[in-house]
Structure 1
Amino acid sequence: MGTRFEELAWRETPIGEISLRRRHDPALDREVYEVKLDDEFLMSSLFPVAEIELARLGLAPLGGEALDVVVGGLGLGYTARTALEDPRVRSLLVVEAIEDVIDWHRRGLLPFAEGLAADPRTRFVRADFFAAVQDGTGFDPDEPGRRFHAVLLDVDHSPRHVLHPGHAPFYTAEGLRRLAEHLHPDGVFALWSNDPPDAAFQRVLTGVFPTSLAHVVRFPNPLQRRESANTVYVARR
């Protein structure tokens, strides 16, 4: 069974104390990895379905080969790892504000994300995703203004429930227009949200992108013994 509970990593950050924990769930008889910010649970390896679907749904509308993709927010690595499973992906730029989160993957602390850090297509950029959009420099420090075929974002709980007040302007029409400038024509912006589809935010999206859909992703919740759901927004330039 192994250790019942272990804190694998911990760090004080500008947005709070972030920690990576591993515990054995006796009811499910499995190892569970969890990320907490202060007392809030950010993500769990029990519920990876929507993070996986963020990559699948975000890349699905794209045609052609040799896709260049940005993942905003590394976390447990499910979105980035799933993006790499698409053979069309030529390069994956992972933008993560917290160096320790990148280090979890480089140290191999997350067995289900094995291969992500070692894949030659992967490049980690330690940066604030929202600041990169706001100042216009973009996501690649070696090539300011570089455009991408897809940007997949999973940082905040939802457009209304952000981890830091400084993120809120991104979810406005102006913020999304700045993001769209970093996409190729017909490029895709996909966003994970813990909340149900938000009609007001969808109106903002459709004011910036010609097409926008809100996908409800349902999955079993073994802790609550019921079905849960997240939302993945997919907007195309």
Structure 2
Amino acid sequence: MGVRFEELDWRETPIGAISLRRRRDPVLDVDVFEVKLDDEYLMSSLFTVAEVELARLGLAKSSGSELDVVVGGLGLGYTARAALEDRRVRSLLVVEGLGEVIEWHERGLLPLAPELTGDPRNRFVHGDFFALAESPEGFDGGRRFDAILLDIDHSPQNVLDSGHAGFYAPDGLRKMAAHLRPGGVFALWSDDPPEDGFTRDLAEVFDDVTAHVVSFDNHYTGGTSANTVYVGVST
């Protein structure tokens, strides 16, 4: 049995105080890992269905047999792990803006850390995903990718940093899409329901745009909750 509560790490960062906590859920009888930014919950290991579906739905749209993939946002590692479970993935670049989060995995503080740090296909990059997406050099010295999977902001309308907002407009999406190979895929996690305006913006840049509603059980409410995964395929 795990401890009732433990704060595994706490750091001041440029965007606020970030903390990693582990607690025992008495109803489910499991250890729950949570990340908070100041007093706001960012993620929980109890609710990872949509993070996994971000990788599954995105990579399902890729027809390649050997895939080079970027994940924007490491977090607890569920999207990265799901991407690595697709055996077509030959390289994975995980871009994370907070070095503290990368360090949690390198120190083995999180359940998925051994899988991610032990897979030679995977590489962590400490950097600003949005700045890299906008730059001509992109995520890895001009290399192009088969898929970019993004889970950083709460949604295109609810961003963690106001500087991210321009990314979700057509010009920002177009700059990011320049780092995809022909037929490449962009997939985005959102905590909000599908938003028609953002779907239209995606359709200005990508073909075959779909907004998937991903539902999952929420034992706290006794019902279901849902996230959205947007997927677009480039020409």
TM bucket, shorter chain: over 0.9
1:175 aligns with 2:172: yes
Query: Match for residue 26 of structure 2?
Result: 26
For 1:147, the equivalent position in structure 2 comes to 144
What secondary structure, in the 3-state scheme, does the structure 2 residue paired with 1:75 have? Answer: coil
The residue matched to 1:111 in structure 2 has which SS?
coil
Contact 1:147 1:183 in 2 (8 A): yes
2:36 is paired with a residue whose SS is strand
Shift of 1:118: 1.3
**CA distance in structure 2 between the aligned counterparts of 1:158 and 1:61, rounded to whole angstroms:** 22
Q: Does 1:158 align with 2:155?
A: yes
Instruction: Name the residue aligned to 1:14.
Output: 14
1:47-196 matches, within 5 Å, as 47-140=47-140, 144-196=141-193
Question: For 1:147-167, what per-residue CA distance to the aligned partner results, in whole angstroms no more than 9, with x for missing partners?
Answer: 000000000000000000010
CA distance in 1, matches of 2:2, 2:233: 46
Please tell me the root mean square deviation across aligned C-alpha atoms, in Å. 0.9
Conserved 8 A contact 2:106-2:113: no
In 2, the alpha carbon distance for the partners of 1:79 and 1:113 equals: 13
Query: Residue type matched to 2:158 in 1?
Result: H
Give per-residue Cα distances to partners, 1:81-106, cap 9 Å, x unaligned. Answer: 01000000000000001111011111
**Which residue in 2 is equivalent to 1:235?**
232
Consecutive unaligned residues in structure 1, runs of 5 or more: none
Q: Deviations over 1:108-142 (max 9, x none)?
A: 111244311110000111000001112222111xx
Residue type of the alignment partner of 2:210: L
Match in the other structure for 2:35:
35
| 1:56 partner amino acid | R
* Alpha-carbon offset, residue 217 of structure 1: 0.2
Deviation digits for residues 31-85 of structure 1, max 9, x if unmatched?
A: 1000111111111000010000000000001112110000000000000001000
- For 1:201, the aligned partner's letter is F
In structure 2, the residue corresponding to 1:115 is in which secondary structure? helix
Number of the residue aligned with 1:210: 207
1:78–1:113: 8 Å Cα contact kept in structure 2?
no
- Cα distance in 1, alignment partners of residues 139 and 220 from structure 2: 37
TM-score between the two structures when normalised by the length of structure 1: 0.97
Gaps of 5+ in 2: none
Q: Deviations over 1:142-195 (max 9, x none)?
A: xx2210000000000000000000100100010000010000000000000000
Aligned to 1:222: 219
Q: Is the 8 A contact 2:81 2:112 kept in 1?
A: no
| Partner Cα separation in structure 2 for residue 219 and residue 171 of structure 1 | 26
Q: Segments of 4+ in structure 1 off by > 3 A?
A: none
Q: Percent identity?
A: 67
Distance 1:72 1:16 in 2: 20
- 1:26 offset after TM fit, Å? 0.9
Distance 1:10 1:183 in 2: 36
Q: Structure 2 counterpart of 1:9, which letter?
A: D
What secondary structure does 2:118 align onto? coil
**What is the aligned residue count?**
234
